[in-house]
Amino acid sequence: MADAAEHGGADGHAGVIGGSGADSGRLGAARLLLWALAAVLGVRQAAAVLSVPPGEWLSGLHLPGAPGGLPGTLYDAGRFTGTPFAGLVLKPLVGLATPSLEVAWTCVTLLSVAAIGLVAARGLPDPVPRRTALLAAPVLVALMMVSLPVREAASPGQAAVLPVLLVLLAFFRVPGERPAGFLVGLAAALQPALLLFAPLLWLTGRRPTAQAAALTFAGATALSWASLPRDSWTYWVEHLAGSGLGGAPDGPANQSLHGALLRLGLSGPTEIVLYAALAAAVACVGLRRAARYARDGQLLLAVAVTGCVAVAVSPDGWRHQMLWVLLAVAGRVGERAADRRVWPVAVVLAMTLPSAVLLPNMAALAPVRDNVPLLAALAAACAVPFLPRSSPYWREPVPTLYGRPAATRFPRVPLLPFWRKALSRPNLLLELLLIRVGYSLYSHIRAAAPASRSVAEANGGRIHAIEQALGIDIERAVNRAVVDTPWLEAFFNFYYTSFHFVVPLAVLAVLYRRSPGDYRWARASLGLATVIALAGFWLYPLAPPRLMPDLGFVDTVHGVQDLANPSYGAMTAISNQYAAMPSLHFGWSLWCGTVIVVLAPRGWQKLLGALHPLITVCAIVATANHWVLDAVGGALVVGAGFGLVHLLSGPRGVQVSLPLPGQRAEAEAEAGRPLRAPARSGRA
């Protein structure tokens, strides 16, 4: 294993792949901007913590004698989650319990996060591209600032960031064996599961460091037993290394194997035996993998994997201790360039977004949704196939197949330089993650749009008046005709509720499988149209016909609504009832119809594609869920989506650029069709 000296250099790395002077200037500017972003996020996090009243913050320490705390021992209230050694270290702070302690604690926590980013960036395996060497630290710090572990670790009494920093300093910055072991042992005294770093040190040949870590942990624990015997007995014996302190062990905050098994309904001896067996298996597999990565020169990845193991096998693996998972992005996964982003994106999403955003609220998905951070840690520890440095794909993955660049459409509106037309099939897992997160964000933004009843009804009246002036106010006549025809009402209700999501997803799935280049074009146009529609929801809240009083519409889908009640019953909790202009029910159906008509190879398929938006517009009007002009708005945003993609990235049909000879067969398989030689002219 390389020590700190071997990982040092003029810029922190033994080997850095350089670049031109112009590139260096751009990288320098990007680095400054990223550090500024990290600083802004840090200030935002500090403001969130410091907004808590000082008395309430200090009571959150849960230490005897602190304001709001209970007299007696550390664990009398059952709220303090640290080790007795941590309590011994923190007890002197009770005498300094003033509002300034809140500021100091927050500043130290956030500065420790910045230090973790700097040390981790210098621990990347060599050789490191210059761009990565310069940008890794600010990017990692910015990600940590918005991550769930850091947001929770900034709370009073949570010292989860400090052990991570101590371990990283021991592995990368402290040159001596015994001083490094002292830091690891100190981290384990604060978080006992981190003692697993001692076996990692032993397996990689640093036995003096492992011995020093074990002795330091033993000494700190003995000191706490001597000073706080009752607390030590409570923590180590009565609560089995703190299990159950600070909250219910089966609560979602406990992201460990023990907590997951309890949430699954297991308990008693069966759960204990199964937990012990799983913890032993995870520790064995994870430590072996970590040792292998360390010997391969990927020391940062080895440290991250060991940290993930420690959190997973601990009786209490709290979310604020999951920072190790973010460090696991140092590993490279995938032989194709298109696959390289999957693991980092999955980790960032799992560590920054609530699980409800990542997965829908379905009972069948609850075991996964409640354990997303744990599953990410287990994947890093035991499952993700990180590439060894000896792999031919380590530095040069199979490149993505791109089309020839298109000429700009308008001189004053240049094509986006980063929007290259990739023709190979994107990674399926990454696509599913982005689609799910994108839709969840869309739902949250739509639900947060202004929903003033008076404004929405006034806008509804204006829309109705405009339609009367244009002679297209057909909604009530169509609605009454459908209500008087039961089979037609049932058909339109079914079509309205069933095809809105199914058809767009089916179209995307077919394109992904059969025409990856067209899939990217269609997906981008749909995404842009949806973003534009969100602006409409915010700027123009609109009451649909079914929620307009005194107009006599019948809500055939949701049933009779109490128009005297602004909440409209349970429907308000489902979505924003006034996000009606533009109609994405019609907009998405028009997108489906356009894509099918343009790309379908057979006439009957094109006919079905054209019928879908026609039936949808009848359904939204017949069920009184939209005005006719809402459909016009939906058509406009879809047209804008297609137009923007054409404007910014060029026409849909592009000439294929040939890959290297040895990659032709693989590229043809990825593109879904034989490759042609590129045209000699510069035109697409």
Model confidence pLDDT, tens digit, residues 247-277? 778 888 888 999 999 999 888 889 999 999 9
Structure tokens at 503: 């058809």
Looking at the structure, tell me whether residues 211 and 322 fall in a common domain: yes
On the 0-12 / 13-18 / 19+ scale of CB atoms within 10 A, 11 is: exposed
Looking at the structure, tell me whether residues 433 and 285 fall in a common domain: no
Top pLDDT among 490 and 422 is at: 490
Taking CB atoms within 8 Å and a gap of at least 24, the contacts of 561-567 are 566/453
What phi and psi, each to the nearest 5 degrees, are found at residue 129? -55, 145
Residue 202: which domain range? 48-383
Residue at 401 is within a domain: no
Looking at the structure, tell me whether residues 156 and 275 fall in a common domain: yes
On the question of pLDDT at 447 being above 50, the answer is: yes
Residue at 282 is within a domain: yes
Residue at 209 is within a domain: yes
Range in 43-47, 94-98, 607-611, 624-628 the model is least confident about:
94-98
Q: Say how far apart CA 250 and CA 17 lie, in whole Å.
A: 48
What phi and psi, each to the nearest 5 degrees, are found at residue 331? -80, 145
**What pTM was computed for the model?**
0.80
Structure tokens at 442: 């869309």
Looking at the structure, tell me whether residues 342 and 431 fall in a common domain: no
Calculate ∠ Cα 378-380-381, nearest 5°: 60
Q: Where among 320, 353, 383 does a domain terminate?
A: 383
Residue 404: C-alpha distances to residues 88, 336, 511, 651, 668 (Å):
66, 20, 21, 11, 16
Residue at 143 is within a domain: yes
- pLDDT classification of 334: cutoffs 50, 70, 90: confident
What lies within 8 Å, CB to CB, of 108 at 6+ separation is none
Q: Say how far apart CA 679 and CA 636 lie, in whole Å.
A: 35
Looking at the structure, tell me whether residues 222 and 82 fall in a common domain: yes
User: Per residue in 421-430, pLDDT tens?
Assistant: 777 788 888 8
- pLDDT classification of 660: cutoffs 50, 70, 90: very low
- pLDDT classification of 72: cutoffs 50, 70, 90: low
Looking at the structure, tell me whether residues 345 and 427 fall in a common domain: no
On the question of pLDDT at 412 being above 90, the answer is: no
On the question of pLDDT at 569 being above 60, the answer is: no
Over residues 526-553, mean pLDDT: 88
The answer to whether 182 and 201 are in contact (CB under 8 A) is no
Q: Say how far apart CA 633 and CA 318 lie, in whole Å.
A: 47
Range in 65-74, 108-117, 317-326, 565-574 the model is least confident about:
565-574
Over residues 185-210, mean pLDDT: 94
Over residues 334-360, mean pLDDT: 86
Over residues 621-627, mean pLDDT: 90
Rounded to the nearest integer, the mean pLDDT of the chain is 82
Residue at 394 is within a domain: no
Number of domains in the chain: 2
Q: Of 238-252, 280-294, 505-519, which one has max mean pLDDT?
A: 280-294
On the question of pLDDT at 332 being above 70, the answer is: yes
Top pLDDT among 285 and 363 is at: 285
Residue at 487 is within a domain: yes
Taking alpha carbons only, the member of 488, 464, 307, 297 closest to residue 394 is 297
HEC letters along 615-673: HHHHHHHHCCCCCHHHHHHHHHHHHHHHHHHHHHHCCCCCCECCCCHHHHHHHHHHHCC
- pLDDT classification of 530: cutoffs 50, 70, 90: very high
Looking at the structure, tell me whether residues 210 and 277 fall in a common domain: yes
Looking at the structure, tell me whether residues 476 and 375 fall in a common domain: no
Q: Say how far apart CA 488 and CA 658 lie, in whole Å.
A: 53
Looking at the structure, tell me whether residues 189 and 316 fall in a common domain: yes
According to the model, what pLDDT value does residue 69 have?
47
Which residues make beta-bridge pairs with 378? none
According to the model, what pLDDT value does residue 59 have?
65
What phi and psi, each to the nearest 5 degrees, are found at residue 243? -65, 125
Looking at the structure, tell me whether residues 444 and 324 fall in a common domain: no
According to the model, what pLDDT value does residue 375 have?
94
Range in 103-107, 349-353, 384-388, 479-483 the model is least confident about:
103-107
According to the model, what pLDDT value does residue 240 have?
80
According to the model, what pLDDT value does residue 409 have?
56
According to the model, what pLDDT value does residue 96 have?
60
User: Per residue in 300-311, pLDDT tens?
Assistant: 999 999 999 999
On the question of pLDDT at 438 being above 70, the answer is: yes
Query: Is the backbone of residue 569 left (phi > 0), alpha (psi -120 to 50) or beta?
Result: left
Q: Say how far apart CA 656 and CA 560 lie, in whole Å.
A: 56
According to the model, what pLDDT value does residue 663 have?
46
Calculate ∠ Cα 215-304-110, nearest 5°: 90
Q: Where among 383, 411, 436 does a domain terminate?
A: 383
Structure tokens at 55: 């008395």
Residue at 404 is within a domain: no
Looking at the structure, tell me whether residues 194 and 88 fall in a common domain: yes
Over residues 158-181, mean pLDDT: 90
- pLDDT classification of 501: cutoffs 50, 70, 90: confident
Looking at the structure, tell me whether residues 537 and 627 fall in a common domain: yes
First to last CA, the chain: 52
Residue at 460 is within a domain: yes
